[in-house]
Amino acid sequence: MIAGTLRGMFQPVFEISLPLHRALVELELLRNELERQPVDVGVLAGLRQTARLRTSHFSTQIEGNELTEREVTQAVAGQRFPGRERDVTEVRNYYAALTWVEELAASSQSLTTRVIRTLHGLAWRGRRVASRYRDGQNVIRDGRTGRIVYLPPEASDVATLMTELAAWTNEEIGRRHWPIPVVAALAHYQLVTIHPWYDGNGRTARLLTTLILHRGGYGLQGLYSLEEYYAERLHDYYSALQVGPSHNYYEGRSAAPVTGFLEYFCRGMVEALRRVQGQCRAAQERGTPDLDPHLRRLHPRQRRVLSLFRDHAAVSTLQIALVLGLTVRTTGPLCRRWVAEGFLELANPARKSRLYRLSPTAEAWLADLPPL
């Protein structure tokens, strides 16, 4: 049993309980398996797009959005729904924010309070502009009874708490003392506990969670949706967030045990990754087996990158990073190694606009890839 606390005013106690430990072990096994599966880039793009749309649907559904999954897909594609403009705007905003999260994850930009406030600005107002924190007290009430469910910290404390959250998250991602899913879950819990805005806190917390998981190696190329798990177990989601002896932040909530929320969160990740595992296996079974022995010898990551060149003569480090679900910082050395091995060549050596193309040998393998 291991216990830990977040620094600052908010210090929840948690332990790596047996159920949490089991979930973390299974998560690592699932992650390793999914990273090794050689899924064609065309199939990969389809799975990623489906996950983005489902995430946008379920995350806004949690907040009361009434568009169906099919309508969300149509709304993101540009279709109008007269009389339901607010619902359409919500899903489009969330989809745009989710896309930016993936861009951030592949960059070297630090996680700052400005980044978190911009996530809120995108999700809530559709603009990549940092939102201001609330300037007054807000109260969370039960929609049926009107009873106070939670009284967040005072507005004067919000900026300090958010600065501590960003600093703690960067520190934990860097030192890896706790498993990344635990860090993501605690950051999610902390943000909704601070409740820095009058509205849009849940959406922003879920986007922040996604960013942390991507940064910590659990992005899995954006193939899974935790929001679907939350929406299907909405009562459990809110129950897991409501802990402590009092609804008042200053009377126990700030130091409440959060092991239950960590267990809920990691169980959700396990279920989401199991679904992706099934989708990838099904896609693999539908595919055509490789006939060229060179392709069989390629690393799965190289096969994904090879497929990328079907539509591009040259690609950037960022494009390769997005396909592989890695950060740009990690992808750079990988590309340089592939150049040395004769898989890639430099098409443009400029540091800020570096591009890669396939070597003549690898170019010949492109024709032997299975069709999309």
- Shared domain for 133 and 197, answered yes or no, is yes
- Shared domain for 256 and 333, answered yes or no, is no
Residue 236 belongs to some domain of the structure: yes
Round to whole Å and give the CA distance between 67 and 71: 6
- Shared domain for 275 and 300, answered yes or no, is no
Residue 160 belongs to some domain of the structure: yes
Report which secondary-structure segment, H or E, holds 305. Answer: helix 300-308
Predicted pLDDT of residue 234 = 80
Q: How many domains does the chain have?
A: 2
Q: Residue 333: which CATH number?
A: 1.10.10.10
Closest of 132, 126, 123 to residue 63, by C-alpha:
123
Closest of 344, 306, 343 to residue 324, by C-alpha:
306
- Shared domain for 243 and 325, answered yes or no, is no
- Residues marked as catalytic: 195
Q: Which residues contact 364 (CB under 8 A, 6 or more apart)?
A: none
- DSSP secondary structure, 311-358, as one string: S-SSEEHHHHHHHHT--HHHHHHHHHHHHHHTSEEEEE--STT-EEEE
Structure-block tokens of residue 136: 């007054």
pTM comes to 0.74
- Shared domain for 274 and 311, answered yes or no, is no
Residue 43 belongs to some domain of the structure: yes
Domain boundary among 231, 246, 280: 280
- Shared domain for 229 and 337, answered yes or no, is no
Residue 287 belongs to some domain of the structure: no
Q: Which domain holds residue 313?
A: 293-366
Distance of CA 362 to the CA centre of its chain: 32
Predicted pLDDT of residue 226 = 80
Domain boundary among 252, 280, 308: 280
Residue 372 belongs to some domain of the structure: no
Burial of residue 346 (number of CB atoms within 10 Å: 0-12, 13-18, 19+): middle
C-alpha distance from residue 30 to each of 16, 27, 193, 274 (Å): 19, 5, 30, 7
- Shared domain for 64 and 203, answered yes or no, is yes
Predicted pLDDT of residue 308 = 80
Predicted pLDDT of residue 372 = 42
- What is the full per-residue pLDDT of the chain (372 aa) written as tens digits? 344 444 454 566 788 899 999 999 999 998 888 777 665 555 556 666 777 788 888 888 888 888 998 888 888 878 888 999 999 999 999 988 988 898 888 787 889 999 999 999 999 998 999 999 999 998 888 767 878 888 899 999 999 999 999 998 988 888 888 899 999 999 999 999 999 999 999 999 999 999 999 888 887 766 677 888 888 888 888 787 776 677 788 887 767 788 999 999 999 999 988 888 887 777 666 654 443 455 556 777 787 788 788 778 888 888 888 777 677 888 889 999 899 888 899 988 777 778 999 888 888 777 656 554
Q: Residue 251: which CATH number?
A: 1.10.3290.10
Residue 341 belongs to some domain of the structure: yes
Structure-block tokens of residue 108: 């070297």
- Shared domain for 150 and 199, answered yes or no, is yes
Alpha helices in 18-135 (DSSP H): 18-36, 41-62, 69-76, 85-105, 113-125
Domain boundary among 248, 280, 312: 280
Predicted pLDDT of residue 41 = 52
- Shared domain for 231 and 324, answered yes or no, is no
Residue 288 belongs to some domain of the structure: no
What is the dihedral angle through the alpha carbons of 310, 366, 332, 176, rounded to the nearest 10 degrees? 90
Contact between residue 228 and residue 58 where contact means Cβ atoms under 8 Å apart: yes
- Shared domain for 233 and 351, answered yes or no, is no
Closest of 339, 209, 188, 189 to residue 272, by C-alpha:
209
Residue 276 belongs to some domain of the structure: yes
Structure-block tokens of residue 33: 């398996």
Contact between residue 151 and residue 139 where contact means Cβ atoms under 8 Å apart: yes
- Shared domain for 298 and 338, answered yes or no, is yes
- Shared domain for 104 and 128, answered yes or no, is yes
